[in-house]
Structure formats: structure tokens, C-alpha cells
Amino acid sequence: MRVVIVDDEALARERLKRLLQEFPGYEIVGEAADGESALDLIDNEEPDLVLLDIRMGGVDGLHVARSLAEYDPPPAVIFTTAYSEHALSAFDAKASGYLLKPIRLEKLKEALQNARRPTRAQKSKGAGQSGDARPKREFVTATTREGLIRVPAEEIVYFLADQKYTTVCHLHGEVLIEESLKTLEDDFAPWFLRVHRKALVATRFIAGLERDRGGEQLHWLTMKHASSPLPVSRRRLAEVRRFLTEQS
């Protein structure tokens, strides 16, 4: 499992890293000292598990957990805190574990085992989905000021998710829909590639991969017929590179 550690105390992060070394199969892919940078890091790394402190300056751990519960798919969250009074709020935030500091090895082992099971957030995201292949769709439908319009699949450049809505960038403009990227990925898999938690792109319109446009995002995908590049997460980078290599 890919793990991100979030705690405003460097010593607490170091202790968690030492404890995790006792368990095979866990890779620490990043750490953050506050909630805001944690969300940026998680967007880019797309971890399977987040070890999350609650009380931090600025954006606290509960806010981070509630945001992660809306991800598609959401990572498992284990709270690591010195305060027992937040347990109920942690449950409401759909956490899979709640550990009190100082964290003991056996308690961490138990929490890690629980985190490998689907969380309530993960179950809710997967509800109603079948393992069977779904029929390919020929279009998406969007409600606009002019009424309902259909956007043919072959004209869609990319889907970009932002909280409740998903932007559909197509050859003639943009529209908003309320479908999740997971549903769209399942329906249009033969023609589209997931490059980020928020982005699903039409492979036929991929122009190239760029590195380092400033800030924390290291890789960006340029698309034909689109003015702005799209982020590529580290987790999806190898697949994107493999696709570009196969097309060259």
C-alpha cells in the first residue's frame, strides 16, 4: 500500500515511518506538516492510505478526511492523535482507524489490517457498480441554458472533476455534468486514460508530456484542442509514459 503521513510534528512523522518499517508491503510516498499541503500531496501521489493527525495549524485533519471521503476512489484514513475526544468526529469523517499517541506497534498493526478492507467511503463510491463490463456509450448528456445537449464520445477531449461537477472539454467548448470519473472511466475505458484523480483524457487527443511548469506538480499532459495542460499524478505517470512509448 502507498502511504502518506500527515503530522505537524517532525518527530511524530519519524516515529510513524520507523513503525511502518516493521510491516512489509507499505511504501511511504510522501509526508506533509499541514492539511493544505497534505491535500496537494495526496492529489499528486494518490495513496492507498493516509496516516493523519487531527490538530494542525490551518486546515485540520478532520477537514482533510472529509475532503478525502469525496475522492474517487477515496484512500483509507487512519487518524493518529493525542486527543481521544475526536473519535466520534473521526467516525463521521469515515476514517478506518483512530490511534492515540504514543502509537503502539500492535495497535498500528491492527489499524493497518482494518485499512485494507473497504472503508465506508470506498463502499459508498462503489455502490451499485458491477464487475461486468458495461456497454460502450456513444455520448454524454449535459443540461445547459439551451436545454439538453449530447456530446459524442469522439468529440470529447477530456473529463476534469471538481467536487460535485465534472467538466467535459470537447471540440466545440465545455459543458458540466454530474457523473463521477469512475463511471465515465468504466463506460469509456477503450478510448480514455485516467492520468490523475481528477482527470480522464481521450487518448486520441494526447499531444505530449511536459515536466516542471513550476509549483509542486511535476508532470503535465498537453492535449490537442485544449488550451490548458492537465496534471499527471506520480501514480499514473508510468502508465502515461508507457502509452506514449507505444504510440511513438
* Residue 218 confidence class, pLDDT cut points 50, 70, 90: confident
Q: Is the pLDDT of residue 127 over 50?
A: no
38-81 pLDDT, tens digit per residue, is 999 999 899 999 999 999 988 999 999 989 988 877 899 999 98
pLDDT confidence band for 83 (50 / 70 / 90): confident
d(CA 123, CA 126): 5
Average pLDDT value for residue range 17-43: 94
Residue 134 has pLDDT above 70, yes or no: no
What mean pLDDT value characterizes the chain? 86
Give the pLDDT of residue 229: 94
Q: Which residue has the higher pLDDT, 135 or 89?
A: 89
Q: How far is 78 from 83, CA to CA, in rounded Å?
A: 14
pTM over 0.85: no
Q: Report whether pLDDT(99) > 70.
A: yes
Whether 198 has a pLDDT exceeding 50, the answer reads: yes
Residues β-bridged to residue 142 = 149
SS3 175: strand
Q: What distance in Å separates the CA atoms of residue 73 and residue 106, rounded to the nearest whole number?
A: 28
Higher pLDDT, 95 or 228: 228
Asked whether 50 and 76 are in contact (CB, 8 A), the reply is yes
Residue 223 has pLDDT above 60, yes or no: yes
Work out whether strand 2-6 and strand 49-52 pair parallel, antiparallel, or are unpaired.
parallel
Residues 154-161 have a mean pLDDT of: 95
Report pLDDT for 136. Answer: 67
- Average pLDDT of the residues in 157-162: 95
Q: From residue 225, how far is each of 158, 191, 240 by CA, in Å?
A: 10, 16, 19
Compute how many other C-beta atoms are within 10 angstroms of the C-beta atom of residue 36: 15
Q: Is the pLDDT of residue 12 over 70?
A: yes
Beta bridge partners of 3: 28, 49
**Alpha-carbon distance 138 to 148, whole Å?**
16
- Whose CA is closest to 11, among 62, 80, 72? 80
Dist CA 68 CA 32 (whole Å): 15
What's the confidence (pLDDT) of residue 213? Answer: 56
Of the candidates 135, 144, 142, which has an alpha carbon nearest to the alpha carbon of residue 156? 142
CA end-to-end distance (rounded Å), the chain: 32
How far apart CA 76 and CA 2 sit, in angstroms, is: 10
